[in-house]
Structures are given as structure tokens and as C-alpha cells.
Amino acid sequence: MSAGRIEARAEGPIGWVTFDNQKRRNAMSLGMWTGLTAALERFAADPSVRVVILRGAGETAFVSGADISEFDAHRSDAAAAAEYARATDGAWKALGAFEKPMIAMIQGFCFGGGVAIAMKADLRIAADNSLFAIPAARLGIAYPTHSVRDLVALVGPAKAKEILYTGMRLDAGAALAIGLVNRVMPVAHLEAEVAALCATIAENAPLTIRAAKETIDQIARDEHDPKKVAERVAACFDSADYAEGRRAFMEKRRPQFTGR
């Protein structure tokens, strides 16, 4: 039976996804990958949830990678690794296709697959005790292509090669300096600051944010689907939120957006 679990809970407009496998520094078991897919699908379908926070249980780790203790059973050779990849593919697809803002709140260890998960988030906010590494070269495994692409997009090809070739560890300050994370703050302030950031995002127009996310992601991936972007933009101008935003501006009050 797989160790660990994914906890998903909603607090108003904020959905919290917690990676909980504290005995193994929140390493991702096979069951946790499945649970992550379910949690994201739940929040994607819930119109009351406007932003999602990814976090690790406890104070020592975000996610320390895949649970290596399962590798003999699930990734012992190429055939087994392919089966494992098929099982985890749903989680990667759910992360990549998630249309709402997603924030990774990181403290402690963020290694391997943990970095890959964090890179799927729109923003990464790290505590000053965070430590990052991708030790694939020390384990003899290949880092997934989509994760390498995300890494290159964030830190550039030269730094990505250095990280992957050496398995080097980066503290929070170094991660901030190369663009791997957006902000660094003291551990004691992390949760409150991330919650405040998400509350600000949740107050803004959901359709506008969705259009911005789609446009930025296409540019970052060097993809061009102008029809999809145009649909997102048109949805903003046809929305009740657009009318509400105009009224609120004229009336000098805070807008009350509904995502419609």
C-alpha cells in the first residue's frame, strides 16, 4: 500500500493542496500522484475556488522528489518505469492544464520531482530555509522533458545545464537570483504572506486572469493558438465582471467579481 496522502481543502476562494508524507520528507508515492490529480480536478470544477496553493505538510519539506523506496516495485527497469510514467501522467496533465492561478508555497527541501511540481505553478514563494536540487544525474534517471522545458524557461539553458549536470543544491537566495522562485521571505511570515497574495488574486476578475495565464503560457512555450487566446479575451469583454469593473471604477468602490 502506498504511503503518504494528498489533503485538499477549500477555505473561501482559496484551495489548499497539501503533500503529506512527512516520514519521507513528503516524497511523492504513487498514490499521492493519483491523489494530486483528483484534488486538482476537484478545484478546477469548483467555481468558488479561484486560486490554489500547493504546500508540503510540516516544516521540513515541500516535496523531496519521488518516493525512492517504491522504485524497486514500480520503477525497477524500463518497462516498469514506463508503467509508472503512465500512472503519473494524469497528475502532470492536471498540473499543466490547470486554468486557475496556482501558487507553490515552499519551505525546506524541494528536490527532484518537487522542483518539477513547483515549476508547474504560476508563482513560487519560498521560505528562507528552502533548499532546491534536481539530483537525477546522481540517481541515473532522466528528468522528464516537460520539466526540463520548464526549468529552461525559468532559469535559461546555461543554468539549467549546470543544475542538471551537477545535481547542485541551491539555497533560497540562489534560487531567487536565477529566477527559480519569485519571492523569498522568513519562514514565520510565509503562510500569512502567501495567503494575503492569494486573497488579492482572488479579488480580481477570474476571466481576465485566465486570459492572461493562457496568453503568457503560450508565449513562454513558444506556442501559437490565437483562436484560444481570442476566445479568452472575448470572454472578458462579454462578461458581467467587465460591466461590474466599469461600474465599480465610476462609483469609486471595490469591484465584486463573480467569474461570469
What range does the domain containing 48 cover?
5-201
Cell numbers of 163, please?
A: 543544475
In terms of domains, do 47 and 153 share one? Answer: yes
In terms of domains, do 114 and 212 share one? Answer: no
Any domain includes 229: yes
pLDDT at 10: 97
Q: How many residues does the chain have?
A: 260
Nearest Cα residue to 222 out of 118, 152, 123: 152
In terms of domains, do 12 and 119 share one? Answer: yes
In terms of domains, do 18 and 50 share one? Answer: yes
Any domain includes 186: yes
In terms of domains, do 155 and 223 share one? Answer: no
In terms of domains, do 16 and 134 share one? Answer: yes
- The model's confidence at residue 241, banded by pLDDT at 50, 70 and 90, is confident
In terms of domains, do 89 and 125 share one? Answer: yes
Any domain includes 257: no
pLDDT at 1: 46
Any domain includes 258: no
Tens digits of residue pLDDT in 43-65: 999 999 999 999 999 999 999 98
Tens digits of residue pLDDT in 182-212: 999 999 999 999 999 999 999 999 999 999 9
CA distance 37 to 26: 16
What is the edge-to-edge ordering of all strands in the sheet holding 169-171? 61-63, 109-111, 131-133, 169-171
pLDDT at 159: 98
C-alpha triplet 233, 238, 242: angle, nearest 5°: 90
Any domain includes 51: yes
pLDDT at 71: 73
Any domain includes 14: yes
37 has pLDDT over 90: yes
Q: How many domains does the chain have?
A: 2
pLDDT at 138: 84
CATH code, 121:
3.90.226.10
226 compared with 34, residue with greater pLDDT: 34
Mean pLDDT confidence for 21-48: 95
pLDDT at 123: 99
In terms of domains, do 209 and 197 share one? Answer: no
Any domain includes 57: yes
- The model's confidence at residue 249, banded by pLDDT at 50, 70 and 90, is low
Tens digits of residue pLDDT in 63-107: 998 887 877 777 667 787 777 777 789 999 999 999 999 999 999
Question: In the listed set 201, 219, 241, which residue is the last one of a domain according to the structure?
Answer: 201
Place of cell 526540463: 148
In terms of domains, do 188 and 216 share one? Answer: no
